[in-house]
C-alpha cells in the first residue's frame, strides 16, 4: 500500500511541476481562463433562455386576456344587452335632433 500511495504522490507532484513550470504556465492559464469563460457564457445563456421563456409566457397570457376582454365587451355592447340596460335605467332612443354627426 505504501508504494501505491508514493506513486500517486509522485504523479501529482510531476503534474503540478509540469503545469506550473515557466514554459507551460501560459498554456495552463489560457486554458483555465477559457474554461471559466465558457462556463460563464453557458450559464448566462441558460439564464437568458429562462428569462425569454418567462416573457413569452407573459405575452401569451396577455393575448388570451385581451381576447377575453374583447369578447366580454362584445357581449356587453350587444343589442339585446343594450336594450336590457335601456329598460333597467328607463332610457329611450334619441330623437333626430339629439343626434350630432361629426365629419
Average pLDDT of span 12-29: 81
- 52, part of any domain: yes
- 34, part of any domain: yes
- 6, part of any domain: no
Region class of 21: left (phi > 0), else alpha (psi between -120 and 50), else beta: beta
- 95, part of any domain: no
The answer to whether the beta carbons of residues 66 and 59 sit under 8 Å apart is no
Give the range of the structural domain holding residue 49, as residue numbers without chain letter.
13-89
- 3, part of any domain: no
Please state whether the predicted TM-score (pTM) of the whole model is above 0.85: no
- 8, part of any domain: no
Is pLDDT at 17 greater than 60 in this prediction?
yes
Per-residue pLDDT tens for 49-62?
999 999 999 999 99
Amino acid at each position: 500500500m505504501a508504494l501505491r500511495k508514493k506513486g500517486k504522490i509522485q504523479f501529482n507532484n510531476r503534474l503540478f511541476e509540469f503545469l506550473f513550470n515557466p514554459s507551460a504556465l501560459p498554456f495552463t492559464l489560457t486554458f483555465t481562463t477559457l474554461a471559466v469563460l465558457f462556463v460563464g457564457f453557458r450559464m448566462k445563456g441558460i439564464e437568458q433562455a429562462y428569462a425569454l421563456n418567462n416573457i413569452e409566457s407573459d405575452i401569451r397570457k396577455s393575448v388570451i386576456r385581451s381576447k377575453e376582454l374583447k369578447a366580454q365587451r362584445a357581449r356587453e355592447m350587444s343589442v339585446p344587452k343594450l336594450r336590457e340596460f335601456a329598460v333597467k335605467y328607463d332610457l329611450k332612443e334619441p330623437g333626430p335632433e339629439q343626434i350630432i354627426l361629426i365629419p
